[in-house]
Amino acid sequence: MTGLILGAVVLLSAGYAKLSSMILNRLLAVTLPTWANKILEIIQLLSMPAYGVTLLIALYSRNAGFGGLNWQTITSGELALILAGAIGFGFLVHSTIAFQSYRPPLCEIANDSRIIDFRTSGTKRVSDEVTPPDDWHTALVGPGPRRKIALLPGNQQFSLEVSTKTYSLPRLPKAWDGLSIVQLADTHFRGAVTRKYFELVCEQARGLKPDLFVFSGDLFDDMELLDWLQPTLGQLKAPLGQYFILGNHDWYLDPNVVRQEYERDGWIDLSSRCIELHTSNSAPPIVIAGDETPWMGKHPDLSHVSPETFRILLSHTPDNVYWARKQKYDLMLAGHTHGGQIRLPLLGPVYAPSRYGCRFTSGVFWLDPTLLYVSRGISGREPIRYNCVPELTKLVLRSGQSSSIL
């Protein structure tokens, strides 16, 4: 009996952890100031052990041990705790099944990926294109309170998955067949991960030679590091241009100054607007738009765009996807959720600041007529990654027809 009760308390505690993290994820999806987010995170973190201990003490004291649990003596408060844990456990089972059964949609027709570990040196080099630093401990990890986190064993923060993924999108005009976009997301310059790491990432991005670069927000967490932009993203140039939007972490700082810095380095601000892209011939233009809501600006206005025009949306949060569907966007590129940064074995990600919880934490989703691509991003506020390697992705779009001009 005792073992059964203890086992049940463990499962109910796991359920509570799931339920409380689901609530936290949804609270973090709205526009709260950083201090409020921090308080909510601390409350949720402390509430998890508190739940288990409270339940244990309550059941033990009421039954003078676990040997003879009497359900008739359970109070309504204890019942509420048990119910919360049981409901959360149901969600935990559901999200585990969803995570394990995730497959990319059929329109993903090719995926060529490799993982580079920038810490690797000498004979362990995995790529001829990468020259690893002699001493990665000093070259890649900065000083400060987060250095210890960055140096945790098994931390994947200093690796990078470089992918080229090809998607068939029937509405893409034939003349744009082969259009390639490199998406970068969520660098979160803060100092614990050094500029050198981001320079190595951008070196890889340059090597992908896309038709356009996009950055989907959260460049900074420290305004002192504004001058990192020029030697990193500032080095990226593409024939059709470089486009950015800001994220909530840029919003916490000084968005206007961040925008000026981007523009000085040749990046085009897509905030709340939509612009046409043209090829060198008489092919129909396509449009690319930017959405920084709910933190800044408004949804871009597409009322002047013809219904036939192929549409790409850059949105910091994937939460805008249902709005994007209504606007008939063909492709939406998002970041913000970082893949959860830590993915538990079997269970998958736990934390993702989204009103849809961990549903769009990362990956590609077909929500007719919109293909949503959510990047795991490159770094995060905390320099920690487990089962969630930083990501740099080139998306190649195929119209399903031949005759490429790009």
Residues of the shown chain interacting with Fe ion in the complex, contacts defined by CB under 5 A = 186, 218
Query: Closest approach of Cβ 336 to Fe ion, in Å?
Result: 5
Phi and psi torsions of 218, nearest 5° = 70, 65
Q: Which residue, 168 or 354, has its beta carbon nearer to Fe ion?
A: 354
Do 28 and 93 meet the contact criterion of CB atoms below 8 Å apart?
Answer: no
Query: Closest approach of Cβ 316 to Fe ion, in Å?
Result: 8
Q: Which amino acid is at 127?
A: S
Query: Closest approach of Cβ 377 to Fe ion, in Å?
Result: 6
Q: Which residue, 186 or 291, has its beta carbon nearer to Fe ion?
A: 186
Query: Closest approach of Cβ 188 to Fe ion, in Å?
Result: 6
Q: Which residue, 5 or 24, has its beta carbon nearer to Fe ion?
A: 24
Cβ-Cβ contacts under 8 Å for 143 (sequence gap 6 or more): 191
Q: Which residue, 186 or 261, has its beta carbon nearer to Fe ion?
A: 186
The CB density around residue 254, as the number of other CB atoms within 10 Å, is 14
Instruction: Look up residue 322 and give its two tokens.
Output: 């249902």
Query: Closest approach of Cβ 351 to Fe ion, in Å?
Result: 12
Q: Which residue, 132 or 377, has its beta carbon nearer to Fe ion?
A: 377
Whole-angstrom distance, CA of residue 33 vs CA of residue 317: 17
Query: Closest approach of Cβ 210 to Fe ion, in Å?
Result: 22
Q: Which residue is nearest to Fe ion (CB)?
A: 218
Q: Which residue, 15 or 390, has its beta carbon nearer to Fe ion?
A: 390
Query: Closest approach of Cβ 350 to Fe ion, in Å?
Result: 16
Query: Closest approach of Cβ 348 to Fe ion, in Å?
Result: 19
Q: Which residue, 92 or 378, has its beta carbon nearer to Fe ion?
A: 378
Q: Which residue, 359 or 376, has its beta carbon nearer to Fe ion?
A: 376
Query: Closest approach of Cβ 72 to Fe ion, in Å?
Result: 50
Q: Which residue, 117 or 250, has its beta carbon nearer to Fe ion?
A: 250
